Amino acid sequence: MQPRREPLTVPDLDAISPDPDQLVAAFAAVLSIKSGRTKGGRPFFDLRLGDTTRTVPAKIWDDAGEAMQYAATLEAGQAIKVLARADVYQGALQLNIRRLRPIDPDDPEPGYDPAILFGDGHLHVGDRLCKSLVVDIETVPGMPAGDLPSSVHKAVERFAARDGADESLIMSLSPMLGRVISLAFGEGELDDVDDQEVTVLAVPHPDHPIDDPPPWLLPMTEAELLSAFWTLAAAADVVVTYNGRNFDVPFLIGRSLIHGIPARVDLLGKPYDLRPHLDLYRVIVGGGRAPGPTGLDVVCWALGVESPKGAMDGSKVADAYAAGDLRAIADYNRGDIRATTSVYHRVRDQILRYRDGW
């Protein structure tokens, strides 16, 4: 009889190698969890766990009774510690969880490092994580159009001529030519939108630093903003946007690629999935291109929701940024979050509650 092997404590998920005879102890973030039953009626939970190094599928069977009880209370975004067998399923690693316990962020146990689970952005937004993350961005050109290489500038000119738009706006819409200067977010699960605490991550103009920003306005670099976003997304049960599949998320992914920041959550997966990314625009228009105007301000008007569109709109952001009026941009960005949250509540209560997958 072979001696019993002691559990192996690993620093991160990437350190786990398939070995059905080895128990491993590890911290992880719950990316997704769902219950099920086999054809024979045996209950189980399917999980997807992750940290900054990798994502791993995991299973909990009914012979791990205490783990099953804990799993019934888990939500995406929670940090947990697991004791699991490093099994192999269909040629790949799958954790067979024998024990687990949620991590109390106010009383973490030794070895727990939220930055490993959620990324360096945890330093900026670790105390502002959201279950339902409502998010919106504002962008500007990365440089004057005249500073672009000739071939790139000609491409911008062609797009501008085709769309009848200003070159600055065309550049602001491309993650290769623009940059994120404001990202607003807030918790979507609340009774009254007026009680919503909206935070804005903002990149000050190099010629216009921010003096004494309010608590809800956090100045940082674009790289720090992007890292913070992926931390928020990894910790959320669902990311809520308006037209985010067409603009916000691809832009954030493109900028992250340029900065070398991992885009740790797949927010552009199956287009009609409601999680982990809920694009309200797609729910409202039913997919594809809408037959008429369906921008956020139009939808807000139709639903009787207060719209943020007023003195400021997306076409004026670049000029306001160049003039150093980042506070006005941030206020406008915050308004978009409250409007999007109001639309989300209507869609959630009148449509999503009747949909499979929600």
Tell me the domain boundaries of the chain: 8-118, 122-142+177-354
pLDDT confidence of residue 311: 65
pTM: 0.85
Tokens of 70: 């804990």
Distance CA 101, CA 110 (A): 14
- Cα–Cα distances (Å) from 166 to 26, 157, 169, 172, 173, in that order, read 52, 9, 5, 10, 11
pLDDT confidence of residue 5: 75
Residue 180, beta-bridge partner list: 139
pLDDT along the chain (358 residues), means of 10: 75 94 94 92 95 94 95 91 94 95 90 91 91 97 92 92 89 97 97 94 95 96 97 93 97 98 92 92 84 89 86 85 95 96 97 91
Distance CA 175, CA 263 (A): 14
CATH topology of domain 8-118: OB fold (Dihydrolipoamide Acetyltransferase, E2P) (2.40.50)
pLDDT confidence of residue 4: 61
Distance CA 102, CA 252 (A): 30
Nearest to 134 by CA among 213, 49, 219, 193: 193
Tokens of 310: 């007023």
Domain 122-142+177-354: give its CATH code.
3.30.420.10
